[in-house]
Amino acid sequence: MIINAVIVTYNRKELLLRCIKALLGQTVPLTGIYIIDNASVDGTKWFLLEKRIIEKTGNEYTKQINNTNIHYFRLKENSGGAGGFHVGMKLAYHDKPDYMWIMDDDGYPLDGCLEKQLELTDRFDYIMPISLDTEKKDKLTWFIRDRQKKWTRSYFKLRSSFKNRIMEYAVPFNGLLMSRNIIEHVGWPKKEMFIWGDDFEHQYRCQKAGFKTITALDAIFYHPEDKADHQRIFFGKVPVNYSESKLRFTCLIRNSTYNYWHYRGKHFILAKFLIYTWFFLINRKLAFKEYIHYLKCVLDGIQGDFNRHKQFLS
């Protein structure tokens, strides 16, 4: 069985090394590990060479460790998570693996995570591990609804609410195991989305193609807790996703709007419009410039225009 892992990295060489070591320590050996460097400026390549994770062979950077072939590719420019996974999955597909295991550089799987996911491949093609906080390992990385539709951050409460240890809901791409069948029918992540929402866009396409997307609650993957910028309106009752970073906010609004328009339902766009109108005009006291930018990003999402974020790239 051929299983290739894909890691997208950007300026997090120490965390990348931790992730690689965790992959090499799995109870099921990987055929290959494909490291996609999004034009890091922290010396990632030289760091991996120094740590003897890769070696220079001709024009390639590769090495075999414990029968796993490690491949390093540096992109010419930062293409975001979406672009990195698009390129990485294409490269990892060259030997037509049975499965791909994909993740960012700041997370890592617990020993046996892959084995637990593989136990479900006789029934599912799209299998996520459960993400736990890297600091508090009994705490979920983000809030998730349990079987009774109640929000929780407790791993044990969530796990005990699903007797079969399978949750029919997934938050990609942190440790996602997907079959070759998915690639052949659904294809690659949408690289134009740059960051935020590309993982869900790909998941929505999988669901539209008839694939069940599930989370294996016994397969553990560690990832930093969700620290997305949230503010609240309507007397603290309604959360609003907001980032002072123009790059992040542009991608957030455009990509979520695109996903609402094509997959989840256009009524979500109206609901978000009302929320952000209140946020910019009331909470942020007539922030018309920011509000107009928000409206432009919404229009970009509806029209499928993925260029606006480029003006904020440094």
In this prediction, residue 4 carries a pLDDT of 98
What backbone phi and psi angles, to 5 degrees, belong to 93? -90, 0
Is the Cα dihedral 306, 105, 72, 220 positive or negative? negative
Say yes or no to pLDDT of 228 above 70.
Answer: no
240: amino acid identity, one letter: V
Q: pLDDT per residue over 86-114, tens digit each?
A: 999 999 999 899 999 999 999 999 999 99
Domain residue extents for the chain: 3-223, 230-312
Q: Which conformational region is residue 123 in: left (phi greater than 0), alpha (psi within -120 to 50 degrees), or beta?
A: alpha
Q: According to the model, what pLDDT value does residue 46 have?
A: 96
For the entire predicted model, the pTM comes to 0.93
- Position 183 confidence tier, pLDDT thresholds 50, 70, 90: very high
pLDDT tens-digit series, residues 229-259: 667 776 667 778 888 899 999 999 999 999 9
Q: Which residue has the higher pLDDT, 35 or 58?
A: 35
pLDDT band at residue 227 using 50, 70 and 90 as cut-offs: low
Q: How far apart are the first and last CA of the chain?
A: 42
Residue 248 and residue 24: Cα distance in Å, rounded? 33
How is domain 3-223 classified at the CATH fold level?
Spore Coat Polysaccharide Biosynthesis Protein SpsA; Chain A (3.90.550)
Q: In angstroms, rounded to a whole number, what is the distance separating the alpha carbons of residues 107 and 32? A: 18
Taking the CB of residue 181, how many other CB atoms lie within 10 A of it?
A: 14
Sign of the Cα torsion 111, 112, 113, 115 reads positive
Of 205, 208, 140, 138, which is closest to residue 174 (Cα–Cα)?
140
Strands 213-223 and 126-133: parallel
Region 18-30: mean pLDDT is 97
